[in-house]
Amino acid sequence: MANAMEIYQLLPKTNCKKCGKSSCMAFAAALLSREKNLDECTPMLEEKKYSENYTKLKGLVSPAEQASETGMIVHEDRCIGCGNCVVACPVNVAEDPKGAGSGNAPTNERVILKVEDGIVRLSNVEDCRRFGENKRLCSGCIVTCPTKAIEFV
């Protein structure tokens, strides 16, 4: 996934404020957190000289559009379904200590992560520590993934 600076480099850098943000850098950060949509930068849509950069940016930010409400993306081509994230997730452990927390199949529906058909799937995202106003930068599922298939945007 791209960072804010990479996105900024492709924006018009005119700080025209048409998008409602105070600067192009602020718009880049807003794009990354999915607060703003790329099409809200009207000069990029209207002016021909930005069309090449627009296509590049579309490619950069489109993976983030598939992310869950918490910003989590599971790269299905990389996931091997090992279940490391399932057993490491603190919410899974709290909700299902004997099942998911002990390395076994989840025994209830309150878990966030579970493996289906060999690929990890998300459910109950609102319980994720990265969700809501009091969100915390939990990285249990990221650091335990051997193939780096989990990413947050």
Cα 76 to Cα 119: distance, rounded to the nearest angstrom: 7
Place of tokens 């880049």: 28
Count residues binding another protein (CB under 8 A): 27
Nearer to another protein, 121 or 130 (CB): 121
**Of residues 82, 125, 138, 142, which one binds another protein by CB under 8 A?**
82
Side-chain-facing half-sphere of 20: CA atoms under 13 Å: 8
| By CB under 8 A, residue 112 contacts another protein | no
The residue from 22, 37, 109, 118 that contacts another protein (CB under 8 A) is: 118
Q: Does 77 bind another protein (CB under 8 A)?
A: no
Contact at 8 Å (CB) between 128 and 91? yes
Closest CA to 60 of 98, 10, 103: 10
Identified binder of another protein from the candidate list 79, 91, 111, 150, rule CB under 8 A: 79
- Find the binder of another protein among 101, 122, 141, 152 (CB under 8 A): 101
3-class SS shares of the chain: helix, strand, coil, % to 5: 40, 10, 50
For another protein, the binding residues (CB under 8 A) are: 79-84, 86-88, 93, 97, 101-107, 114-119, 144, 146-147
